[in-house]
């Protein structure tokens, strides 16, 4: 893995963004899974990063200190990595986008499973560590950037052109999980799967069915674009440092078409957000924020015409029912 810059000597930049994106890039042709580079001792190659001893050695060697503000927890459980890689369905013709590689425990596995890996890391202190530990793998690019400020369409063209498919595979920072997931989905990237480690409660919300306490606006947003599947629950002891909460790996299989057909996605999600604004209120009371209190009677009739009782709560509605409500509100002029 070699450090590269643009032809003018500066760090690469994507699209309209002014933030520099620095690479550690290999010269190996794309389309073949990584093989360890020659000249590396066999013991070093075989000693996996995702162990307590190797992780602590790497941290000591580089004098790394954790930043709580970045939600840094390094995975040290090989069995969990096995399940992540299996769920991702990678091969030599496919690529993987990783968000927050940390010291490279998952990156190492991705390099062995995929034809190309691009890992986006916000913490510049980790770049020399990644350059060191990933040096045996010739198909990994590390991009120094904030994923939420990255032009992902341009990154796709730069990193994954010509591949049969690309999946996002990552141990996500918990404090920005939802913004990252929504950015990946809303940008309509040509994704196959999103396989991510998140806080358990968030995974349960993504996979929740209507009628349960975990079902909410996040459930609908994710299930509109994807089919969720809970892969495994991960205890805190699987990380260094150990978080105070349980984690979970969830697989989001991208749908070829959204789960429901709506004429205006922005209006659909506006209705969803409004319906869940106060969970203890009825659907009619929450949606009155859109129709106006003077039209509550008309709103109740509209819901009944959609075969939905006004006293129901938002968490009991299916995606199909939300689509009907959105369409009816739009046609009535209550939603503009």
Output phi, psi for 25, to 5 deg: -125, 145
Maximum Cα–Cα distance for the chain, whole Å? Answer: 77
Beta bridge partners of 170: 196
Tell me the DSSP string of 6-50.
-TTSSPB--TT--S-BEEEE--SPSSS---PPTTS-HHHHHS-SS
3-class secondary-structure state, position 141 = strand
Beta bridge partners of 117: 96, 140
> Which residues are known binding-site members?
73, 75, 100, 121, 146, 171
Q: Check the CA dihedral 29-133-149-76 and report its sign.
A: positive
Which pairing describes strands 165-171 and 191-199: parallel, antiparallel, or unpaired?
parallel
Which 8-state DSSP code applies to residue 100? Answer: -
Cα distance between residue 292 and residue 336, in whole Å: 12
Query: How many CB atoms are closer than 10 A to CB 57?
Result: 13
Which pairing describes strands 22-25 and 2-4: parallel, antiparallel, or unpaired?
antiparallel
User: Do residues 224 and 258 make contact, with C-beta atoms less than 8 angstroms apart?
Assistant: yes
Q: Check the CA dihedral 126-111-85-216 and report its sign.
A: positive
> Which residues are known binding-site members for S-adenosyl-L-methionine?
73, 75, 100, 121, 146, 171
User: Do residues 98 and 3 make contact, with C-beta atoms less than 8 angstroms apart?
Assistant: no
């Amino acid at each position: 893995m070699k450090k590269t810059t643009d032809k003018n000597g500066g760090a690469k930049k994507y699209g309209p963004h002014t933030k520099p994106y620095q690479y550690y890039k290999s010269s190996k042709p794309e389309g073949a899974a990584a093989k360890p580079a020659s000249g590396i001792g066999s013991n070093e190659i075989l000693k996996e990063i995702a162990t307590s001893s190797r992780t602590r050695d790497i941290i000591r060697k580089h004098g790394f200190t954790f930043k709580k503000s970045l939600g840094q927890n390094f995975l040290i459980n090989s069995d969990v990595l096995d399940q992540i890689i299996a769920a991702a369905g990678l091969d030599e013709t496919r690529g993987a986008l990783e968000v927050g590689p940390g010291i490279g425990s998952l990156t190492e596995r991705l390099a062995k499973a995929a034809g190309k890996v691009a890992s986006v890391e916000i913490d510049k202190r980790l770049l020399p560590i990644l350059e060191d530990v990933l040096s045996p793998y010739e198909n990994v690019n590390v991009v120094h950037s904030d994923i939420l400020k990255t032009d992902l369409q341009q990154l796709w063209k730069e990193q994954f052109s010509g591949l049969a498919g690309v999946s996002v595979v990552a141990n996500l920072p918990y404090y920005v999980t939802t913004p990252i997931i929504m950015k990946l989905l809303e940008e309509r990237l040509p994704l196959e799967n999103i396989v991510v480690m998140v806080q358990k409660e968030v995974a349960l919300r993504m996979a929740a069915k209507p009628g349960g306490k975990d079902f909410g606006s996040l459930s609908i947003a994710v299930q509109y674009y994807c089919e969720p599947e809970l892969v495994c629950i991960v205890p805190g002891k699987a990380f260094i440092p150990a978080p105070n909460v349980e984690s979970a790996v969830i697989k989001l299989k991208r749908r070829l078409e959204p789960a429901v057909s709506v004429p205006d996605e922005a209006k659909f999600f506006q209705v969803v957000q409004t319906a869940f604004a106060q969970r203890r209120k009825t659907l009619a009371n929450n949606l009155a924020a859109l129709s106006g209190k003077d039209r509550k009677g008309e709103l109740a009739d509209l819901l009944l015409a959609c075969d939905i009782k006004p006293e129901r709560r938002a968490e009991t509605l299916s995606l199909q029912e939300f689509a009907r409500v959105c369409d009816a509100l739009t046609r009535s002029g209550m939603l503009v």
